[in-house]
Copies of this chain bind each other. A is one copy, B any other.
Amino acid sequence: MAEEFPMTGGDGPNSYAKNSNAAAKAADGAKAMLVAAIFENLDIETLQSRPTTFRIADLGCSVGPNTFIQVDNIIDAVSQKYHKKSKVQSAGELPEFQVYFSDLVSNDFNYLFSTLPRDRQYFTAGVPGSFHGRLFPEASLNFVYSAYALHWLSKIPDELRDINSPAFNKGRILYGNAPYEVGQAYSAQYAKDIKSFFHARGQELAPGGLMLLLIPGRPHGTLPAQNSLAPYFQPLESTLADMVNEGLLSEDKFDSFNLPVYCPSVEELRLLIEENGRLDILTLESIGQMPFSLPSAQGCRAGTESILRKHLGDEIIEPLFDRYSKNKNIAAGSASLVHDDSMAVGFFVLVKRKLL
């Protein structure tokens, strides 16, 4: 059974809406590439006859504003391509756009809907469910987008919590600097999840449809343990370890807690996409180090509160993040960008659904 780990909803101080700067910076950096990708690769000819609906899905959209900004970028680029191609200047010749905002059932769709841009030029729908399975009818999507969401696994591999397994992940919450077997357990779960993801998208994308993914990954030739999101979560791990030392959290609970995130290498990813058979890889490249500043207590809480609550209990949350905010690296100023070679890099992935 897949688990669900949504971002914290609403617009309170601990919400994702107020604490998603890292993702915003990362996605913003890829905007020019996004526009170029659409210009160069979108085949307007393969779309069905008028009246045409151009359907876009943002998978793992969380709540705004990042998703609204990227959707505007996508629609702008597609519209420009239409204008250029057809040499028609009147907007009446454009397709109508329908945008599906998709995330887990537990995402705060009420908040998402209440903050939709009032001047939006598209029809809206919210789609609840896991992107590791089917969410849309066959061949119904023209453009799929997903930014910094695919590193979330559908579940935590069982071995990590098995004291008798070589992959037992004692004293860590991720695979950074962990034994080989820990990274392998994460890698195997990722392969399973991402294959399901591409299988579903291969069915949902219309022939000729594009999919653009921004994915945290690791450099060519490195082991999982060497490059991960671990530095990003190091203050969380050390705060939890402190609480164990002080008797505020049982060692068993700490040892059995792991974050369900993983960063693949380009080669891992390429093989997993090629296996699919319905998708042509147009671009698969590193766009450099992930923009990286240590998350504030609020920022960390927005992304991890639901999973921490589930595995460590409700009562841990307030004391944990109170302590977290006093961690020396956080208190010293988390806003500044940190350079750490063991941090994940960003991948820009563009695939096209084969015409068959």
Contact = CB atoms under 8 A, between A and B. Distances in A.
Contacts of A97: 137
Interface in A42-56: 48, 51, 53
**Size bracket of the A interface:** 20 to 34
A123 interface: yes
Copies of this protein in the assembly total 2
Of the candidates A106, A109, A129, A134, the one having the most CB atoms from chain B within 10 angstroms of its own CB is: A109
A226 interface: no
Nearest to A140: B53
Given A51-B137, A140-B53, A124 B129 contact: yes
Top 6 nearest A-B pairs by Cβ distance? Answer: A125-B125, A53-B137, A113-B128, A51-B138, A96-B137, A126-B126
Contacts of A125: 100, 125-127
A139 interface: yes
A163 interface: no
Nearest to A97: B137
Interface in A126-183: 126-129, 134-140
Nearest to A129: B124
Interface in A25-57: 48, 51, 53
Given A53-B140, A116-B128, A140-B53, A123 B110 contact: no
B128 A98 contact: no
A112 to B, nearest CB: 9
Contacts of A100: 125
Nearest to A49: B48
Contact of A113 (B98, B109, B124, B137): B109
Given A105-B114, A123-B127, 19 more contacts: A51-B137, A51-B138, A51-B139, A53-B137, A53-B140, A96-B137, A96-B138, A98-B137, A100-B125, A106-B114, A109-B126, A123-B134, A123-B135, A123-B136, A123-B137, A124-B127, A124-B129, A126-B126, A126-B128
